[in-house]
Amino acid sequence: MHKKLYGLDHLRAFAICFVFLFHYQLFECPEWLPNIAKFGWTGVDLFFVLSGFLISSQLFFQIKNDVRISFKDFFLKRFFRILPLFWFITGVYFLIPLFREREALPPIWKLLTFTQNFDLNLRDFGTFSHAWSLCVEEHFYFLLPIALILLQKYKQFHKSYWVLIGLFTFGFIIRFYSWKILYLPHIADENAWLFWQKYIYYPTYNRLDGLLTGVSIAAIYQFMPALWNVISKYGNHFLIVSLITLVIAYFLCYEEHSFYASIFGFTLVGIGYGFMVIGAISPTSFLYQINSKITTFIATLSYGIYLIHKGIIHITQLILSYFGFDSSSTLSLIICIISCIAIAFILHQIIEKPFMKLRTKWVA
């Protein structure tokens, strides 16, 4: 899949902005912010849907053209895209205590092995906690090509939809177990939210819905051209359906720790953003037709912004407070946004771009 889909840049830019505003609530923030940022945690789910669609589309394109998937090539591409900047920011967190937005870091082996999201104690190891979503994506990047290689080898790819159905079903079952057996005994505890996040919110096996939604869209996009031609005629309609679905998800997940939110919330959010992705890649939608340099710029920096934003917000607010600025003001928020974009741009120039050039050189 080589065609540039500008609609996805709009979504990627929206996702990082939504996540940024949600996490900004952890710091001194304007009074108006929580009213619009409460649902911002779902920006990560939009990233999951986007990753599921983009990565599986690339692999499905190879399968469709009878090209054998090379795990080595796939791994090297992901390596050059993800790890250099992640390792750099991890090093900053461990070497520069001032950068830490909270009290303590998780053990470095958990970050380097992408196992931080299992048994994550947010109260005691809340620093750099947002790296949990990278763990989920890295597990996906590891398992998806292996599954597709096996399906190719044994000529069972035509039955792969059963794998998707099975994994969606597994998600409901494992979340029910996690809520009923692991979380419910602690529901009366004053720190019940810690157990909910540890057992339900963070583990990979509970957060596959967005990724699987993206994979499902990619399968239709690559292998069912007749169906896709029909679907793509209604791009703006899918955007409307997406908003309706997400509004329903908002109210379902308003009490985040409830049974229905825990079991069905992630699925509904994933499907809602899935409709949004369908709209964004449909030639008939306004998102597809608009080529914005601003959203493309933000989308390009989104990975860097995601990695650094908590640390940069923390340092920026410390500096502003030192000079007598009100850290909870809207001006402080704007300055923090500018700081994050500026630092992410620098990191993109000195780390991401050079390693992407190396990737082009080393990987066919």
Residue 193 phi/psi, 5° resolution?
Answer: -60, -30
Q: Please give the average per-residue pLDDT across 176-192, as a whole number.
A: 94
Give the CA radius of gyration of the chain.
Answer: 20
Q: At residue 3, does pLDDT exceed 70? A: no
Supply the pLDDT for residue 146: 94
Give one word for 87, left, alpha or beta, with left for phi > 0 and alpha for psi -120 to 50. Answer: alpha
Residue 111 belongs to domain spanning: 6-362
Asked if residues 29 and 319 have their Cβ atoms less than 8 Å apart, the reply is no
Supply the pLDDT for residue 217: 97
Supply the pLDDT for residue 178: 97
Output the six-digit token pair for 86: 């992640």
Q: Is the alpha carbon torsion for 270, 271, 275, 277 positive or negative?
A: positive
Asked if residues 102 and 127 have their Cβ atoms less than 8 Å apart, the reply is yes
The reply to whether 1 falls in a domain is no
Q: Please give the average per-residue pLDDT across 336-359, as a whole number.
A: 96
Q: At residue 164, does pLDDT exceed 60? A: yes
Angle value at C-alpha 75, between 70 and 79, nearest 5 degrees: 155
Q: Please give the average per-residue pLDDT across 169-178, as a whole number.
A: 96
The reply to whether 56 falls in a domain is yes
What is the rounded distance in angstroms from the CA atom of residue 271 to the CA atom of residue 337?
29
Helix, strand, coil % over all residues of the chain, rounded to 5? 80, 0, 20
Q: At residue 20, does pLDDT exceed 60? A: yes
Q: Please give the average per-residue pLDDT across 245-249, as a whole number.
A: 98
Lowest mean pLDDT, pick from 78-87, 145-154, 331-340, 355-364: 355-364
* Nearest to 182, CA basis, from 170, 203, 196: 196
The reply to whether 320 falls in a domain is yes
Asked if residues 205 and 171 have their Cβ atoms less than 8 Å apart, the reply is yes
User: How many structural domains does the chain have?
Assistant: 1
Q: Please give the average per-residue pLDDT across 36-55, as a whole number.
A: 97
Q: At residue 80, does pLDDT exceed 80? A: yes
Q: Is the alpha carbon torsion for 298, 312, 94, 198 positive or negative?
A: negative
The reply to whether 128 falls in a domain is yes
Q: pTM for the whole thing?
A: 0.95
The reply to whether 115 falls in a domain is yes
Supply the pLDDT for residue 271: 98
**Predicted confidence band at 199 (pLDDT cuts at 50, 70, 90)?**
very high
Output the six-digit token pair for 102: 């909270």
| Number of neighbouring beta carbons within 10 Å of residue 318 | 11
- Give me the residue label for tokens 């741009």: 345
Q: Please give the average per-residue pLDDT across 11-31, as a whole number.
A: 97
